[in-house]
Structure formats: structure tokens, C-alpha cells
A and B are shown apart, each in its own frame.
Chain A
Amino acid sequence: MTICKRLASALLLVFMSLCGSTSYGEGNQTLFDEGIRLIETGKLKKVADGVDLLINSKHDRSAFILESMLESKLYRHKKQKQLVMLVEKNDKGLLIADLDSLESTRQIGKRKAKRIPLNNKLRGKIKGYLASQNLNADQVSVRKAAIQKLLSALDDETLALIKARALYESNPDVQLLIDTAIALDALQSENETDRLKAIPTLSESLEPAVRNQLTQTATNDTSKAVQLAAQSALEKIEDKIAFYGFVEKIFFGLSLGSVLVLAAIGLAITFGVMGCINMAHGELIMIGAYTTYVIQLMMPNSIGASLFIAVPAAFVVSGLVGIAIERGVIQFLKGRPLETLLATFGISLVLQQAVRSIFSPLNRSVETPDWMAGSIEINPIFSLTLNRLYIILFCLAVFAVLFLVLKRTVLGLQVRAVSQNRNMARAMGVRSEWVDALTFGLGSGIAGVAGVALSQLTNVGPNLGQSYIIDSFMVVVFGGVGNLWGTLVAGMSLGVANKMLEPVSGAVLAKIFVLVFIILFIQKKPRGLFPQKGRAAEG
């Protein structure tokens, strides 16, 4: 969301609340004023008391004040000793407005006003309060979140609010949550039949609050029948949890696998097709990630679109660096694959240091666009994180494009011809030099594209490449050198295997097991999962 939009919505809110205060002036004005006075001090302890007063006052401006606190917009003017609203942070300092008249803004220096401090406890309290205010929001998701928030801390007051909402709630999902809340309350009732009746509704719910309550009921309830019913409901819930836990593991595995595939697939081309051990592959990934960083620097106002520009840009930048490496070094080392290992190792050191000199050795911050943040909630215990989901899709897309390029284009045909029999291809008129340069450029470009994806997951720093190079080699070799399908299958299966092992053995041992497995697997199939056949495979 852009600042403009936020500002507009904030203004709207203010306007609405201002109208509200003039029309009915509800709530306890004295408590409210006292609360504001305490918040004005800017001292955390007093602010905490002030927030309590604001909530208790039930004043209709409380929500607005608290919400701006939550968004860290509420400031305290140091000289005037009064609360002001932050409109915008700019180069000159702060653009602020008075609480009563948000339209007239003024500019003050950066250190002239201080943000009203908050801590987690207060933030939780404010969010809870706002949630209870949000029960009647128009958006379904907001209402759902509000009730979910209230589930863990139900009291008579909130329950009354929820019950009131139940009368005119039209959305079935929200209705279900409301039923759960009511049932959860019934579970506490004195009446045994009420408790028993509540359990079937609860057994359908995966909310953690429900499970905790049921666990307590299953052991502590005075009635045996209720205990038994709670136990069987719990079992039902646990079964579902186990199932979703398994699905979650598969998802985690696929997402780890897609990262491995992305990192390795460029190598599958340079290493697999050209037979060139490129130790600088990791650094080409790193260059892609830094390209993303630079693109974001150039367009700070449209982070959302930056990735769409970063992908082709990273492809071009890494691809050009790759072509430069091929033309400058590797072409002189034809037929001496081990010397290329040595030279590219040198190149990787130089590239790392170059990045350190240009961008400093510190990690760079690459922002996650809004559309990639957050997750899709399938149910309360299982959600798919969006960035992982996009990366899986992105990985498949990259794979598909690459596959088509190699199978359906002239370049692809020539690349395959040169990799299978260089001399014959040359005899048929293929310019093998040119093909080599382009192949290397293609592989490097793909590495750059992988860097864009990785910039969303991990550090963008000079060591980025080194942490992926070993894994990439493993994936390519496990899949079978020179086979793109092999790389895809190998990457995905190693990812899933790793994630399946991890809960049992811990992260480190899982990785060790996977490595040992690769070593043993190669004994069984010395040329990987999908061995190359024919003469090209010899030697």
C-alpha cells in the first residue's frame, strides 16, 4: 500500500470519528482526557496506563488514537508537549498535523518530536481492543480475524458482542467461527448437557484455542461423559492435525526443492551441457540478487513491480557477466575442464571481493513486495506462505521456459548438437564458439534469475553464492549430468527428503543423511538418476 492510500484511509477514519464525536459524543470524556494526558508524557509506563484509560473510556475517538499509535504515527512534540500526528517522513524531517485538525500540516525537524513508545503487551492489548471494534467490519477477513483474536480470551462482554453479531451475520465461515465461540463458552457452563452439546461443534474446529480448551476438559471435567466426548473430539482434531502436518511437510519440501532446482538449473546447463565446472556459479546467483537490490534502489516507490523488472534485468546482467567469463577465460581452456575449475575458482574470489568493494561487506536489504508477503490460510493450522508458493511456481516456469528453449529453438538444437558431438556439429556448420558463449550466457542468466528468487528468502551479501554452490553440484550430479529433468526431479526429491527427515533427526543430521544417501546412491547408479546414454556419456 502506498503512503497516499494509507493517508487517505487515515483521513477518512478521522473524518468519520470526528463526525461521530459531534453527533453523539459517547463515552467517558474525563477518562479519555486523562488517558491522553498520560500518553502525552511519552513514558512507557504512563502510556500503558493511558491506553487502559482510553479503552475503558469507551470514547469513540479511542480507536482512532490507538490505531495511529499502532501504526507508529502518534508523536509527541517535545517543545509543545502535546500529541501530534505524523503525516509523512521526508528528507527535511517530519510532516505533522495536530490531532484535531489533520488537514493543516506543518514541517518540523527530525529530532523535534518523538514517537510514542509501545511494547508488545500494549500492542497486543490495542489489537485486541481494535478486534472487538472490528466485529462489524465490512470485510469478511477482518471479521474472521477479529473473532479468531477474541477466541483465546473470551469473556462475557466480548461474547455478548459476538452473539449480537451472530444475529445478522451472513457469511457462513464467520458464522461457523461464531458458533465455535459460543460453543467454547458453553463448554465452561455449569450444565452438563450444555457442555456435551457443545463438543460436536468444537470437534470440527482446528482453532488452537479450541484444542487447548478441549484438552483441559478431557482431563479436568467433573463429568465422565463429557471427558470421553472431549477425548474423542480431540482425537478427531489430532488426526486432522497429523494429516495437515504431513501436507505441510510436503509443501516445505517442495519449496526447499524448488530453491535447490533454481540454484542448480543454471549449473545443469554450464556443467551438464558444456562440461565446464563453473565454481563461479554461486557468484552469478549473487549478482542476480544484487541486481534486484539495485533495481529496488532505482524504483523505491514501486517495490511491487520491481521484481518483474528485476527478473529480466538479472538475467541480462548475469548472462553478460557469464559471456564475459566465457570469452575472457574459459574459451582459452577448451578441453581442459580442470583448469576451468581453477580459473573459475579465481573468478569467484574476484567477484566476491568486487561486490565487497562496491556494495560493502554488509548485507543489503531487499524488500519483499506486498503481494509476496503473508500467507494463504487454508485453516487455522495450515497455511501456505505466499513467497514460497510463488517461488515454487516461478521455479516451474523457469524450468518450462528453459526446456522449451533447448527443445524447440534453433539455439537449443545447436546447443544439444555441440554437447553431443562438437566436431560433427562444426562440420555441419554450427559455429561452436558462438554456441558456447551463448550456452554459458544462458546458464549464467538463469543463475541470475535464481538470485532474484533467493533475494526474497535469504541474505543478500557477498557470501550468498558460496552457500548454494555445493548443494547445486549435488543436485546436478544426483540427477545425472546433462539432463534437465534429472535436475528437477533430484532437486525436488532431495528437498522433500530433507524436510521429512528434519523433524525426526534435526536439521543438521537430516542434511548429513541426505549427503550420505547421495554418496551411496551414486554407487548404485554411477551416472545419476537419469544417465546420459550413448557415446557422449563415455569418458
Chain B
Amino acid sequence: MSLVSTQQINPIQETIFNRSTVLFLTVLAFVSVFVVICNQFVPVGSALHIPTYTVTLLGKYLTFALLAVSIDLIWGYLGILSLGHGAFFALGGYAMGMYLMRQIGDRGVYGDPVLPDFMVFLNWDELPWFWHGFDMFGLSMLMVVLVPGLLAFLFGWLTFRSRVTGVYLSIITQALTYALMLAFYRNEMGFGGNNGLTDFKDILGFDLQSDATRLTLFLLSAIALALGYIACRYIVTSKLGRVALAIRDAESRTRFIGYKVENVKLWIWSFSAALAGIAGALYVPQVGIINPNEFSPLNSIEMVVWVALGGRATLYGAVIGAVVVNYAKTYFTGALPEVWLFALGGLFIVTTIFLPKGIAGLLSRKEQRA
């Protein structure tokens, strides 16, 4: 009952910047520059003009792509199927959201200089302890990485030591995100309950609604994706990565040889969670809201679906999957509002049956033929 497919997907010995990586980074750079030019320098009426609305949408896709890469790292290369990665994404998002809330200052509805609106409204007299420090950008950004990272570390430390594997691991990651969702829905928790955090005004003094800030956030997402991608490539091509592959394919054997399986898993797992947190932090200012729904187990499953659809253990496949599914969602919900779930569900079924290696498999098959 293994959850880990034993097929070899990558040859063992590789450099960080292999063909697909270079190509991916080139395409990413090209798209970013193209978007900037079309947004800034092409006049509004022109067919080539990209409105800021689309730029933000693309920025959102890029943060999803980064999230997908972080899932692919642990699923594709380490064999851990996390059905709760949305939790780390959302935690990163909340850390960013808390910073943005504090930035509102006295411009909130009730004009309280310190307390966010929802706290005034719930009659809280002072800021809860965990909100302190989020008025500082640096510390908040640290929290974006630390909170998901540490939670993952703690969770992994418990879990990997007890050798929880396979479906059991997947289901308790699901339990983790489910418990967090219920907790964040509670208004007593101090995270705004169901309404979450919203009504953000500016970041580091830059107006969040201005086109320039939007474009910058888009570019930052692109850069984060590129760096995250390179970091993941670095891990999977390092010795650590090769041990990870060994764990994926034969965990007990790797342990018997003498590798500290738990440690390898723990580090890569925590890194992946931190990466998901960064994606969440970039996501929040672009969509303007963070709410406990992001913790929903179904969201996390959907994230896994992106990776599976794009092609597991290829990294670029994860990016393609995230972008394609989310673009499909954007398009279908507008074009076929009544029946779009048929289209999306159908897409999932058809790709699994006819494209076992995802879209990436389709691309590399073409490559082999050529």
C-alpha cells in the first residue's frame, strides 16, 4: 500500500541548472519583462496592453506556483504526501496579514491607533501578546518564514521519529490543517474569525491599490518563485536530495544503510513549509484578504492536484499545474459559471487517465520523440 511510486523519474546525477531549469527561468524572466512592458509602456487602448487587473492575477498564479513547487519538493522527491500544506501557506499569509493590519493604524473604521477594527468591535482592550511586533516589517517577514517553519519542524519532529508514514501521515496533516481552520474560525483566537484580515491599506508606506505597488508585488512573486525554484533544484541535486530520493523509493533500506532518515525528512519538510509560508505572504497583499478558509482541507487537496496535474517530481511541472488549473478556474468561473465544475472535474479525471505523468510527462514525451 505504498503511496510512493517507485518509478524513476529523474536520472540521479544532475546539476542545478539543467536544461529544464534554464528554460523555465528564461520563460519566467521573459514573461515578467513582457508583462511589465505591456502594462507600463503599451498604451491602454492597444490590443497588447495588459491591465493591472491581469498583472495581479498573474502575480497570484505565481504565488500558487511557488506553493506548488514547495509541495512537489516533499511529494515528488521525498515521498511525503502532505494534505495540509495549505496550513503553512495560510500561516505565512496570516503573518503578512497581521503586518498589513498593523499598518492601517488609525485609519481603521473605529480610528483606534493600535487595535485592528475587529478587536475594537469585540471590545478588546489591548493587543493580544502574539500581535506585538507585527508593526515591524522585518520581524513580520521573519515570522512569515518562522511560524510555518517551526510548526512544520515540531510536527515533523514528532511524526517522523514515530515513523508515521503513508496514508497515516497524509491524514494527520489533514487533521492539522482542519484543526487550525476550526481554531482560526473562532473569534476568541484573535485573528478576526471568519472575516479574517482585510481592508489593507499599504505596505512599507506604498499604497496597495496603486499600479506600481501591484506591479512590484508581481515582480517580487516572480523573483521569489525563481529563487525558490533554484533553492529546490539545489536541494534535489545535492547529496541531501539524493538521500531524499532513496528515502522516497525505499525508506527502510536507506535507514538500514545508516542514513538518518528522520533528519533528512525533517529538514526538507520544514524548508518546504517555510517556502509555502513565503508564497502565502506574497499572496495576501495581492488578493487583499486572508481568511480561515485557506486552511480548508479541500484547498490543500486541490494544491496536491495542481502538482499531480502538472507532473510530479519535475518542479517545473508543479508550476505548470498550478498556473493551468488556476487559469482554468478563472476562465471557467467567468465563461461557464453554471457548469464549470464539470469542466474542472473532467480535466482532473482525463489527465490522470490519459496523462499519468501530468502535463510535464506530455512535454518530455514529445522531447524524447524529437
Contact = CB atoms under 8 A, between A and B. Distances in A.
25 contacts: A271-B167, A333-B352, A340-B352, A342-B352, A345-B302, A345-B305, A346-B352, A347-B349, A349-B348, A350-B341, A350-B346, A353-B345, A470-B178, A474-B175, A481-B1, A481-B167, A511-B182, A515-B182, A518-B172, A518-B175, A519-B179, A522-B159, A523-B158, A526-B164, A539-B1
Contacts of A474: 171, 174-175
Contact of A516 (B179, B346, B352): B179
Contacts of A277: 167
Interface string B219-253: 00000000000000000000000000000000000
Given A336-B356, A337-B3, 11 more contacts: A275-B1, A333-B353, A339-B356, A346-B352, A348-B345, A350-B349, A353-B345, A473-B174, A477-B168, A511-B179, A526-B163
B183 A512 contact: yes
Nearest to B302: A345
Given A329-B349, A346-B346, A350-B341, A523 B164 contact: yes
B176 interface: yes
Contacts of A279: 301
A442 interface: no
B179 A515 contact: yes
Contact of A477 (B3, B172, B179, B309): B172
Nearest to A528: B168
B186 A508 contact: yes
A171 interface: no
B166 A522 contact: no
Nearest to A348: B345
Interface of B: 1-3, 5, 81, 155, 158-159, 161-168, 171-172, 174-176, 178-179, 182-183, 185-186, 297-298, 301-302, 304-305, 308-309, 338-339, 341-342, 344-349, 351-353, 356
A522 B164 contact: yes
Contacts of A508: 182-183, 185-186
Contacts of B162: 522-524, 526
Contacts of B176: 515, 519
A279 B349 CA distance: 12
What range describes how many residues of A lie at the interface?
Answer: 35 or more
Shortest 3 CB-CB distances between A and B: which pairs?
Answer: A346-B348, A349-B345, A353-B341
Given A329-B349, A353-B339, A524-B162, A342 B171 contact: no
A438 B305 CA distance: 27
B353 A332 contact: yes
Given A342-B305, A350-B346, A523 B159 contact: yes
A256 interface: no
A277 B166 CA distance: 12
A474 to B, nearest CB: 6
A213 interface: no
Contact of A519 (B5, B175, B309): B175
A240 to B, nearest CB: 34
Nearest to A510: B182
Contacts of B5: 336, 338
Contact of A349 (B179, B182, B338, B341): B341
Given A333-B353, A347-B345, A353-B341, A522 B172 contact: yes
B342 A342 contact: no
Contacts of A332: 353
A466 interface: yes
A338 B339 contact: no
A346 B346 CA distance: 6
A346 B163 contact: no
Instruction: Give the interface SS of chain A, mostly helix, strand, loop or mixed.
Output: helix
Contacts of B171: 473-474, 477
B167 A357 contact: no
A165 interface: no
B168 A357 contact: no
A321 to B, nearest CB: 14
A472 to B, nearest CB: 10
B172 A539 contact: no
A509 B179 CA distance: 9
Contacts of B2: 337, 539
A346 B347 contact: yes
B348 A343 contact: yes
B162 to A, nearest CB: 4
Contacts of B179: 511-512, 515-516, 519
Contacts of A127: none
Interface in A452-510: 466, 470, 473-474, 477, 481, 508-509
Contacts of B166: 539
Contacts of A466: 298
B175 A515 contact: yes
A349 B1 contact: no
Interface in A271-306: 271, 275, 277, 279
Nearest to A527: B168
Contacts of A519: 155, 172, 175-176, 179
Contacts of B339: 353, 357
Nearest to B251: A539
B340 to A, nearest CB: 8
A384 interface: no
A445 B128 CA distance: 50
A217 interface: no
A350 B172 contact: no
A349 B325 CA distance: 14
Contact of A515 (B159, B164, B178): B178
A341 interface: yes
Contacts of A526: 162-165, 168
A159 B355 CA distance: 82
Contact of A341 (B1, B178, B304, B346): B304
A244 B175 CA distance: 33
